[in-house]
Structure 1
């Protein structure tokens, strides 16, 4: 089982001058200890369900560029890019830039954006859910076209591109991994089967994950897609350090379902958190 670190909170410590040094120390410990993937959220306000919206929040792709310069091994991405926040052609270039400068370590984590307070607050168009999913599918098509080396037009319902030029090409082959986030059974998991290299599911319980993966298998059969070719990842919502033995048993249950990477989220100062992960969790995770 691989472990990803999902860095979702910049408020520990909250002083702006301390954010970069704390992030730097965290990612260096994470990489040295064997964490395989590093992600930020794609938010501009903190999520109100987790903390006050006014808490510090940095832009994700800029932050990943900083992390790329500090690291050599961990894969890097957002969990997950909100489809409404960047024009698809520019998003393909942004992820390509990260991939080239990181030596081929970029992922495109993507999903249907949802946080209307930050969208309205910053002037991002708010559209109905059905349209967000239409835009998500067109964005996936555009990224794949640009990463294929095809320089041509793209004409969709929501996006029209006259020239899908993308130079330099990504280092990752055949392209940066496309990880589609969410467990929506009718739309999200169908898009995984059609376009995704990986899925990402909130692991509220092994039983729920089993259900989602069975739905994904059904979509793969309908799409003529090899279910086993899709990497299965999950956000481990259960706290790890409060009960390491229990958490490892929970992760072992996920592994038996086919999950090969779990993301964990710091619940305290991130340097302290990743140090404890390195000491108490990672040495035992390799046997799962």
Structure 2
């Protein structure tokens, strides 16, 4: 598995009717595939994250969505960013991602994390538990899922999960990759060091040096060569051939989150835009190259939430960023 350039589908609250939802999703992912993106990602949420005044919080179920993309694309890898471990029995999740792999001809990636959004759990009747609970559950789940993805039949009796000689067929390979997502330097990174092929680091750019040092330490603790664990950073990108338009998109997006850049202090502005990259293609490329890739991150996953559904924007982003990760 190599993910140097990923595309996370942005919000799904389009103004078009629900009947047009999947044609819009498919068009974006096909554009990403043509533009050289390695992987398309869909968030695992039950509704769109709330913004002030947002009455349409449409969010399709993640594995149904990825299944539709499996037969609508040919080359691009497909993954959740990331599956909430709390939402699914781990053996069932291994079955789901393996079935996606078969349907896509070997292009599935299991993206998984501990789960974090308490409101979803409450509204849908899932146990949220404590921070410690969720990471214990993730560790147990991967002790079941990882061998199932390799064609083994694990038996496991833990605090949270139990399986007995769990069969996982059909499969078409024994090396379906595992991506762990999160920013926790002790628990998340330790789990990634033990189980993952890829770690998608969630943090502000200013935190990256410390995060990478922590990851080095977690790998060293178990004797793993750090170079065998690929890394990426999720970036929120506002790109347009017209720089003023890109900056207006960023301004409007932040305003919808309750942040007015025209009134913000320097510190407030820095905090609000710490994971954002904005401007014409050359500006975005320079920002990502110097602020992220130069620090030792292997790849970039981008979210184009402000204008990703607009035809041509995903292609523009791919054309801008692919040379950076191929260098």
- The structural deviation recorded for 1:246 is 2.9
Matches within 5 A, 1:187-198: 187-198=187-198
Partner residue, 2:285: 248
- The structural deviation recorded for 1:101 is 0.9
The structure number with the bigger radius of gyration is 2
Distance 1:131 1:49, change over 3 A: farther
* 8 Å contact kept, 2:135–2:187: yes
> What secondary structure is seen at the aligned counterpart in 2 of 1:19?
helix
Partner residue, 1:270: 308
Determine the C-alpha separation between the residues in 1 that align with 2:318 and 2:154: 48
Q: 1:21-62: per-residue Cα shift (whole Å, max 9, x none)?
A: 211221222211212110110000112369848511100010
Matched, 1:185 2:185: yes
Partner residue, 2:268: none
Determine the C-alpha separation between the residues in 2 that align with 1:210 and 1:87: 35
Distance 1:280 1:234, change over 3 A: closer
- The structural deviation recorded for 1:203 is 5.2
Q: 1:96-130: per-residue Cα shift (whole Å, max 9, x none)?
A: 00111111111111111111111111111221111
- The structural deviation recorded for 1:267 is 2.6
Matched, 1:67 2:69: yes
The unaligned stretches of length 5 or more in structure 2 are 241-245, 247-278
Partner residue, 1:153: 155
Q: 1:51-84: per-residue Cα shift (whole Å, max 9, x none)?
A: 8485111000100000111111111000000011
Distance 1:256 1:153, change over 3 A: same
* 8 Å contact kept, 2:236–2:305: no
Which shows bigger deviation, 44-53 or 160-169? 44-53
* 8 Å contact kept, 2:200–2:234: yes
Determine the C-alpha separation between the residues in 1 that align with 2:52 and 2:138: 25
Partner residue, 2:201: 201
Matches within 5 A, 1:13-24: 13-24=15-26
Partner residue, 1:97: 99
**Out of 286, 292, 296, which is 1:258 matched to?**
296
Determine the C-alpha separation between the residues in 2 that align with 1:115 and 1:37: 24
* 8 Å contact kept, 1:202–1:237: no
- The structural deviation recorded for 1:89 is 0.4
Determine the C-alpha separation between the residues in 2 that align with 1:53 and 1:24: 24
Superposition RMSD in Å: 2.1
TM score, norm. by length of structure 2 = 0.81
* 8 Å contact kept, 1:7–1:40: yes
Matched, 1:285 2:322: yes
Q: 1:139-172: per-residue Cα shift (whole Å, max 9, x none)?
A: 111011212322241121211111221112343x
Matched, 1:231 2:268: no
Matched, 1:79 2:81: yes
* 8 Å contact kept, 2:110–2:176: yes
Q: How many residues align?
A: 284
* 8 Å contact kept, 1:182–1:200: yes
> What secondary structure is seen at the aligned counterpart in 2 of 1:237?
strand
